[in-house]
Amino acid sequence: MEVNTENIVKQFLYQGEPVAQQFPALHQSVYGKPLIYFDNAATTQKPYSVIHAISDYYSTINSNIHRGVHYLSQKATEAYEVSRNTVASFINARSSSEVIFTKGTTDGINLIADTFGSYAVNEGDSVIISAMEHHSNIVPWQIMCGKRGATLKVIPMNEAGELLMDEYEKLLDETVKIVAVTYVSNTLGTVNPVKKIIELAHLNGTPVLIDAAQAVQHISIDVQDLDCDFLAFSGHKMYGPTGIGILYGKEEWLEKLPPYQGGGDMIKTVTFKGTEYNDLPFKFEAGTPHIEGAITLKSAVDFITELGMDEISAFETGLLHYASTQVREIPRVEIIGNAIAKTSALSLSVKGVHPYDVGVLLDKMGIAVRTGHHCTQPVMDFYCIPGTVRLSFAVYNTTDEIDRFTESLQRAINMLV
Ligand code: PMP
């Protein structure tokens, strides 16, 4: 795609300053070179607001939630539930009882694969995923299918890295109990037509889980508009802490599904004869949760909201086009993933050179990229490559950094061939 790169915004401003100034970890040198961080799809850096919120939590209201009558426990419980409400509005959930705190995307998908599997999947049934799923959205379904005697069916993709929707329609039959697809591919950057995928599944009477790990930080998400049944994402990829994530589920589904784990907080009453489970969302939050993570996720959501999701999307799409245009000029470099709808992730293959070697040299030049299969081995098999060099953008990246990357990549290739 030909793009006019002249109008691309060079850097994102926050209160008149480059937004990167809000991220202390970016202001360091590695191997004597100023750090450029292009590994945002793996995890993002954290702004001061999140870092300070973590410190404030431990300096003031640290205590266990939902059980204490004392002041600190009440304050922590309140902050925990305020954060849940903030996330609910961020994704436009009907109610905060549809928002479950998890460890992250992987945890949320495992929760649904396990509970939905035992609720609805039997011998001879099937589950649909896509050819570009992260291992987190493959393996839990394989485990569940193995236990339940069900089959995993895969929506194929074309060379550009776009799902074949006609093939998807053909796969949708009465055996399909759930569809689980990624909104955005972490390797190819493809933005999948999830609304259409959901609509078609619903015509078949099938619920849909959306892996939003690579979408929630780049695209505005409205779960009611999408009409997805479940949606999972991670805090650490959206400027928040690690170890915390969100599973959204439609109330009617969450009410029906059995609990995932048993323990404290997910119960109303326990006797040796049996247990009455707690209401939503607590039914799915057994044990002491990641309280600090859940509370401070609010600061990450507030940060994104303040910057404006539409502005973030437009800016990052500009960076993607700018970088794509530049790398196309470099001999031997091929972009893996050329979907028309793309965001943020740019995967490169360099002819005759192993991606790992490129990554090591770039690292020595101060540039953090990810190399390898990015937990999408089937995607690597599809393109018959061992891995890619992946850049993935966040709001603090700049076109100047992309210029430095392009020069450094060219130098690395010269050294290696
Ligand atoms: N799905 C996608 C598309 C991802 O990119 C990732 C993280 N790379 C995951 C799922 C898993 O996320 P987490 O490791 O935070 O659970």
For the stretch 343-372, pLDDT in tens is 989 999 999 999 999 999 999 999 999 999
pLDDT above 90: residue 4: no
Whether 1 has a pLDDT exceeding 80, the answer reads no
Same domain? 224 vs 299: yes
**Which residue among 194, 214, 376, 379 has the greatest number of ligand 1 atoms within 8 angstroms of its CB, and so is best to mutate?**
214
Q: Ligand 1 centroid to 236 CA: how many Å? A: 10
Which atom of ligand 1 is nearest the CA belonging to 103? 16
One domain for residues 156 and 280: yes
User: What average pLDDT does range 176-203 have in this prediction?
Assistant: 98
CA–centroid distance, 161 to ligand 1, in Å, is 18
Select from 275, 305, 335 the last residue of a domain: 305
pLDDT band at 330 (very low <50, low <70, confident <90, very high): very high
Rounded Cα distance between 86 and 272, Å, is 38
Report the C-alpha gap between 317 and 244 in whole angstroms: 27
The C-alpha atoms of residue 63 and residue 57 are separated, in whole angstroms, by 9
Residue with CA closest to ligand 1 atom 8: 42
Residue 196 carries which side chain, given as an amino acid letter? K
CATH number, domain with residue 151: 3.40.640.10
* Same domain assignment for residues 73 and 126: yes
Contact 106, 138 (CB under 8 A): no
* Chain Cα centroid distance, residue 55: 25
Q: What is the rounded average pLDDT of the residues 204-232?
A: 98
Cβ-in-10-Å burial (0-12, 13-18, 19+) of 49 comes to middle
392 lines ligand 1 (CB under 6 A): no
Confidence of residue 2 (pLDDT cuts 50, 70, 90): low
Q: Whole-number mean pLDDT of the chain?
A: 97
**19, 135: one domain:** no
Residues paired with residue 233 on neighbouring β-strands, in sequence order = 246
Q: Which atom in ligand 1 lies closest to the alpha carbon of residue 375?
A: 8
Asked whether 214 lines ligand 1 (CB < 6 A), one says yes
151 and 100: one domain?
yes
Do 11 and 74 have their domain in common? no
In angstroms, rounded to a whole number, what is the distance separating the alpha carbons of residues 154 and 173? 13
Query: Is any atom of ligand 1 closer than 6 Å to the C-beta of 371?
Result: no
Together in a domain, 151 and 93: yes
Tokens 């998890």 locate to: 102
192 ligand 1 Cβ < 6 A: no
133 lines ligand 1 (CB under 6 A): no
Q: Is 139 exposed, middle or buried (0-12, 13-18, 19+ CB in 10 A)?
A: middle
Residue that finishes a domain, picked among 271, 305, 339: 305
β pairing state of 267-270 and 275-277: antiparallel
47-68 tens-digit pLDDT: 999 999 999 999 999 999 997 8
Domain count of the fold of the chain: 2
Please check whether residues 183 and 121 belong to one and the same domain: yes
Q: Which of 145, 228, 375, 384 is catalytic?
A: 375
My answer on whether 281 and 347 are in the same domain is no
Residues 6+ apart with CB under 8 A from 414: none
Tell me, using a 6 A CB cutoff, whether residue 186 lines ligand 1. yes
pLDDT, tens digit (0-9, with 9 covering 90-100), for 129-182: 999 999 999 999 999 999 999 999 999 999 999 999 999 999 999 999 999 999
Q: Is 228 a known active-site residue? A: no
What is the average pLDDT across 12-17? 96
With b for 16 or more beta-carbon neighbours within 10 A and e for fewer, the 86-101 pattern comes to bbbebbebeebbbbbb
Domain span at 405: 5-43+308-416
Beta bridge partners of 34: 29
Question: Is a pLDDT exceeding 80 seen at residue 272?
Answer: yes
* Shared domain check, 85 and 209: yes
For residues 132 and 158, membership in a common domain is answered with: yes
31 token code pair? 């191997």
3 pLDDT tier (thresholds 50, 70, 90): low
**Cα–chain-centroid distance for residue 244?**
12
Burial class, 123, CB count within 10 angstroms (exposed 0-12 / middle 13-18 / buried 19+): exposed
How many angstroms does the Cα of residue 211 sit away from the middle of ligand 1?
8
At 159 the three-state DSSP class reads coil
Nearest CA to ligand 1 atom 4: 213
Distance (angstroms) between ligand 1 centre and the Cα of 106 equals 6
Residue of the CA atom closest to atom 14 of ligand 1: 106
Total length of the chain: 417
349 in contact with ligand 1, CB cutoff 6 A: no
6 C-alpha vs ligand 1 centroid, how far in Å?
Answer: 33
Question: Average pLDDT in the 183-191 region?
Answer: 98
Cα–Cα distance for residue pair 230/249, rounded to 1 Å: 4
pLDDT at 67: 79
CATH number reported for the structural domain that contains residue 37 in this entry:
3.90.1150.10
The arithmetic mean of pLDDT across residues 257-286, rounded, is: 97
Q: Are residues 231 and 158 in the same domain?
A: yes
Domain limit, last residue, from 305, 335, 358: 305
How far apart are the CA of 239 and the centre of ligand 1, in A? 14
Asked whether the beta carbons of 236 and 42 are under 8 A apart, the reply is no
| DSSP one-letter code for 136 | G
